[in-house]
Amino acid sequence: MTAIQTAEVVVTSPDRNFVTLKLTTDDGLTGLGDATLNGRELAVVSYLRDHVVPLLIG
């Protein structure tokens, strides 16, 4: 069974701020997901890091 090994939260700012979640499995597969809340990007980052990522690992 494939399990998520790492979950990395990345904030970018080309023209607006975007929050990207990068997941990597123990099989080496990688997936990306984007989420943003205009003006509240850091709140999204905190939510992902504190609440979502711990549930995904393993």
Would you place residue 52 in the very low, low, confident or very high pLDDT band (cuts 50, 70, 90)? very high
pLDDT of residue 58: 74
Count of domains forming the chain: 1
pLDDT of residue 27: 95
Which CATH number belongs to the domain containing residue 16 in this structure? Answer: 3.30.390.10
In terms of residue numbers, what domain contains 33? 4-56
**Does residue 3 sit in helix, strand or coil?**
coil
pLDDT of residue 50: 96
**Does residue 41 sit in helix, strand or coil?**
helix
The rounded distance, in Å, linking the Cα atoms of 21 and 44 is 11
Would you place residue 49 in the very low, low, confident or very high pLDDT band (cuts 50, 70, 90)? very high
For residue range 14-47, list pLDDT tens digits in order: 566 789 999 999 999 999 999 888 888 888 999 9
